[in-house]
Amino acid sequence: MVEVNERSAVRRLYDRFGFGARPGDLDQPFAEALDRLLTAPPGGNAPAPPDLPPPPRPEKNKKDKSAEQTEQDRAAKKKANKARAAQQKQLAAWWLDRMVAVDVATTERLTWFWHGHFATSAQKVKIAKLMLDQNEKFRKLGLGSFTDLAHAMIDDPAMIVWLDGNDNKAGAANENLAREFMELFTLGVGHYTEDDVREAARALTGWTIDRKTGVAKFVAKRHDDKPATIFGKQDDYDASSFVDLALSREESAPFVVGRLWYRLVSPTPPDEQARGRLLDAYGARRDIKATLRAIASEPAFRDEKTALVKQPVEWLVGLLRALGVRPSALDEKLQAKLYKGLMGLGQVPFRPPSVGGWPSGASWLTTAAGLTRLKVAQAVVEQANLDSLAQNKDKVEAVRALLAVDAWSDRTRAALGKVAADPAKVTALAACAPEYVVSA
Amino acid sequence: MNDHMNPLTRRRFLTWSGIAAAGALAAGATQVDWDDLMSAAADDPLDPDAGVLVVLTLYGGNDGLNTVVPAGDDAYQDLRPELAYKPDEVLDIGEGLGLNPGMKGMKGLWDDGSLAIVRGVGYPNPDHSHFRSMGIWQTGSPKSAVPTGWLGRWLDATDGNPLHALAIDPVLPPLFAGEKTAAASLPAGGLQLPKGDLGAAFAALGEPVSGEERWQATAARSIADLHNAAKTLGGAVHGPDTGDREDDEERDKGASAGGKGGLAAQLDVVARLIEAGVPTRAYSVSLGGFDTHADERDTQERLLSELDSAVTPFAKRLAATDRGKQAVVLVYSEFGRRVKGNASEGTDHGTAGPVFLVGDRVQAGFHGEQPSLTDLDDDDLKSTTDFRDIYAVLLQDVLGADPARILDEHPGKLDGLVAT
């Protein structure tokens, strides 16, 4: 194993536990940087979440079936849809801005991780306020205990809407939430049987969402109170005891720790000994922050080969942070450009493609993405203050330092050299270089 | 993949991490001489007699029983009274079956003799997880998780030109991930590369660097592939901007298992590329939203109408040109749904479902047996045709490849499905 040097290790820490280093971040030693990332109070400089009043729900006039009334109903529905779509965009814009604005981004990075883990999409949930509430739970609990987080998700209103928990009632179980909770959130595929799914669905019956207030409510008469047999154990389960049961399975801790490793470190799993150390840190408390600390002290964390492809949002937020551009400061047209760019790259916050979350690795390195990335980078650079770059004689080297890239390859240095006279071009292009697109 | 991960580690990793994300394990860089490829593409457009395959994936698990509907079967009516279509509601196609009322255009294709329906398609020991089952269909490997897609392996077996396979999607679908090569991708909006010094500098970022870290090498190669793709396809593609689709409440209800809309725009791009004679032989497009655990009837009918109104004009357009006549469209989903409805007026994850093949070369009509509604396996349909039997036909008779190598010696082949 070849170890990266101290400065690269610090840079990697900022890449993986945050959204990349900003000017000055790399001058700290590793231990201090880690402390800063894990203990800084979250939310320094963060914009407050938007106010998202429930949009008016159009009441259908069921009795009056005249053409005029139908037309009115349709117009009302269209108006309501438009209002909802506007709130969803407002919410996504706020989060993107917050990721860029905060001094220390660890809490936002973990919020982003958990959003991909418990992947819930506004495409079906519709009510932006529910998505925000779920997001705030990730923010509040995301560095705490996975026990609390899992419990918070099983009766989370957005999650219940997303996975049809609302329709899951005694005598008429709906398996969606029960299955995905085991497969994708706590245990991993293959660590439960089809019978476990059916029985767990019964344990989760009875939860409903009040469509007006968006509050999750347990309705006892919808709950199947006959005992269920899950993982061979018969009991009167409810949602909470089902979560405890799933988390107590021996496959759960390696699964959760494995997902953190996969997204924050490398698609190559840790070796047996490292895995043991990580599981010790996770421990009975299911401590996420302790796990992160353990991850950072693993030798594999400093392995030269431990590279990760930045997801589009990570790439964009990192670029905005490095260049000091707040999305909220952009005019409407440029904001729309960023949103469309993320759509083109296949990753919009609050809209994961499925409950399985976003893909990873080479999936982001498609031919089409290369071009979209350049267009997005050009839009960002338009708003950046590049005076320091303009005054620098060696712009290729200066932009390397600005983006906190360890080193340019000869290929990239030559390519950037072709536009070195133009600070905007050289910066946009540098953001598309393989050395920046991938966190080595 | 990379050298430091042997197959055993890989399998353990897939188990450990819980999700077999084949796309994540796609090939690293290979050395390709682009100048040779470019002149080949210009001098030697696709042979007008070469078969072309268009793979259309329905994400979420389409309910096969409400697509090709056994409306006259009492067991069907009894098992899902709230969801069942009455015989007079469906579009009769014989043998007691009818197409969903949303599929009027495809009923026309059936009548014209350009639609084949393979019934009861699945695989042994069906998996009810979307991600595992879709992984099985896309990798063509039900027994063990493998890091390559079935058409990725086909791509590996050709000359390694990523342009032979093209996804109309910014994100690479796992079926197109090969060991050595990953397919190219094209957004439905087309490719407009920068010009001048920026364009030259951007192209230069795609140069390979020896010994570069593997993801960075992949990133560089994707930029080289982009320039290659734009040179070859650029003139053919200035498609509509599918941009911001307005949300549709009904069709979004089954969205939790992935996929996307805008199918007509995707197919429009494919039709133009086929007509232009680009060297692409396999295309991937998709439609999502079929995870209908609740309020299924309206949602599914809406989606099948979207499918119908995209596929029907596409098929007619293909039939009008010589190149288009060589194209075959495959429509599939990761599984069908439970025979019995749930009480949310929806259905939970099931097993076998129908597969559609559309095109001039397709042997129209029914293939495979309709699964019994009374002889069930743990409340689920028993599949009567293995999906690899269909892949074998497509590989051999459409793409002209040897299926044995690509499908791990799978012995079955559904003969008579495509005219040779």
What confidence score (pLDDT) does residue A327 get? Answer: 95
Q: Is B298 helix (H, G, I), strand (E, B) or coil?
A: helix
How far does the CA of residue B111 sit from the closest CA of chain A (Å)? 36
Highest mean pLDDT among A250-264, B10-24, B255-269: A250-264
Which residue do the tokens 């991909």 mark?
Answer: A116
Do B309 and B354 share a domain, yes or no?
yes
Mean pLDDT of the region B16-25? 31
Residue B170: pLDDT band (50, 70, 90) is low
**Nearest Cβ partner of B252 from A123, A353, A415?**
A123
Cβ contact (<8 Å) for B202 and A171? no
pLDDT of residue B22: 32
**Torsion angles phi and psi, residue A438, rounded to 5:** -110, 135
Residue B414 counted as domain residue: no
A45 to chain B, closest Cα gap in Å: 32
- Average pLDDT of the residues in A372-399: 94
The pLDDT value given to residue B16: 29
Report the mean per-residue pLDDT for chain B.
82
Q: Could you tell me the pLDDT band of residue A118, with boundaries at 50, 70 and 90? A: very high
- Contacts of residue A80 in chain B, CB cutoff 8 Å? none
Query: What pLDDT score was predicted for residue A74?
Result: 79
* Residue closest to A87 by CA, chosen among A43, A132, A57, A124: A132
Q: Return the higher-pLDDT residue of B159 and B362.
A: B362
For residue B28, the model assigns a pLDDT of: 31
* Residue B241 pLDDT greater than 60, yes or no: no
Lowest mean pLDDT among A255-269, B51-65, B125-139, B205-219: B125-139
Task: Show Cβ contacts of residue A393 under 8 Å, excluding neighbours closer than 6 positions.
Answer: none
Of residues B30 and A156, more confidently modeled: A156
Distance CA A234, CA A237 (A): 8
The verdict on B250 and B219 lying in the same domain is: no
B153 and B252 in one domain? yes
- pLDDT at A119 exceeding the cut of 90: yes
In chain B, residues with a C-beta closer than 8 Å to the C-beta of A343 are 243-244
Domain end residue (candidates: B237, B268, B302): B237
Q: For B97-120, what is each residue's pLDDT tens digit?
A: 999 999 999 999 999 999 999 999
Q: Are residues B359 and B383 in the same domain?
A: yes
What is the band of B54 on the pLDDT scale with cuts at 50, 70, 90? Answer: very high
In this predicted structure, which of A303-307, A428-432, B5-9 has the lowest mean pLDDT? B5-9
Between residues B307 and B228, the one the model is more confident about: B307
In terms of domains, do B289 and B208 share one? no
Distance CA B178, CA B152 (A): 4
Residue B77 and residue B160 in one domain: yes
- Residue at which a domain ends, from B237, B269, B292: B237
Chain A nearest CA to B304, separation (Å): 18
User: What pLDDT is stored for residue B12 in this prediction?
Assistant: 30
Give the pLDDT band of residue B247 (cuts 50, 70, 90). low
Q: What pTM, to 2 d.p., does this model score?
A: 0.79
Q: What is the mean pLDDT of chain A?
A: 93
In sign, the C-alpha dihedral spanning B261, B59, B104, B311 is: positive
One-character DSSP codes across A214-258 = --EEE-GGGS--S-EEETTEEE---HHHHHHHHHHSTTHHHHHHH
* HSE (side-chain half, CA atoms, 13 Å) at A178: 33
Instruction: Flag whether residue B346 sits within 8 Å of chain A, measured between CB atoms.
Output: yes
Domain residues for the domain of B158 are 10-190+239-406
Q: Do B227 and B266 sit in the same domain of this protein?
A: no
Segment A1-26 shows an average pLDDT of 95
B255 touches chain A (CB under 8 A): yes
For chain A, give the percent of residues with pLDDT over 70. 98
- The domain boundary, picked from B173, B206, B237, lies at B237
User: Is B412 a member of any domain?
Assistant: no
Q: Is residue B373 part of a domain?
A: yes
Q: Taking Cα atoms as reference points, which of B226, B236, B186, B184 lies closest to residue B202?
A: B226
- The answer to whether residue B363 is domain-embedded is yes
For residue A304, the chain B residues in CB contact (below 8 A) are 213
Q: Is residue B1 part of a domain?
A: no
- pLDDT tens track for B274-331: 887 788 899 999 998 898 888 889 999 999 999 999 999 999 999 999 889 999 999 9
Q: The domain that contains B358 carries what CATH number?
A: 3.40.720
DSSP-based three-state secondary structure for B349: strand
CB B302 within 8 A of CB B251: yes
Which residues from A are below 8 Å from B27, CB to CB? 362
In the predicted structure, residue B40 carries a pLDDT above the cut 50: no
Residues B264 and B329 in one domain: yes
> Is residue B116 in some structural domain?
yes
**B228 and B261 in one domain?**
no
**Residue B36: pLDDT band with limits 50, 70, 90:** very low
CA A205 to chain centre: 28
Residues B42 and B143 reside in one and the same domain: yes
In this model, does residue A193 exceed pLDDT 90? yes
- The ipTM is 0.92
Co-location of B95 and B220 in the same domain: no
Q: Which residues contact B18 (CB under 8 A, 6 or more apart)?
A: A183, A184, A187, A188, A189, A255, A258, A259
Classify residue B353: in a domain, yes or no.
Answer: yes
CA geometry: angle B97, B98, B100, nearest 5 deg: 140
Q: How many domains, in total, are found in chain B?
A: 2
Q: What pLDDT, in 10s, does the model give residues A122-139?
A: 988 989 999 999 999 999
Read off the pLDDT band of B37 (50, 70, 90): very low
Average pLDDT over residues B189-196: 78
Q: Terminal CA-to-CA distance of chain A, rounded, Å?
A: 14
Banded model confidence at residue B248, pLDDT cuts 50, 70, 90: low
Which residue, among A78, A123, A192, A367, would best test binding to B if mutated, counting the most B CBs under 10 Å from its CB? A367
Distance from C-alpha of B266 to C-alpha of A256, rounded to nearest angstrom: 37
Whether residue B104 sits in one domain with residue B48: yes
Q: Is residue B416 part of a domain?
A: no
Locate the chain B residue with the closest alpha carbon to A436. B216
**Residue A120 clears pLDDT 80, i.e. is over it:** yes
Mean pLDDT, range A319-324, rounded to an integer:
97
Decide if A343 and B26 are in contact by the 8 Å CB cutoff. Answer: no
Question: pLDDT at residue A211 above 70?
Answer: yes
- Lowest mean pLDDT: which of A61-70, B322-331, B346-355? A61-70
A193 Cα to chain B: minimum distance (Å): 10
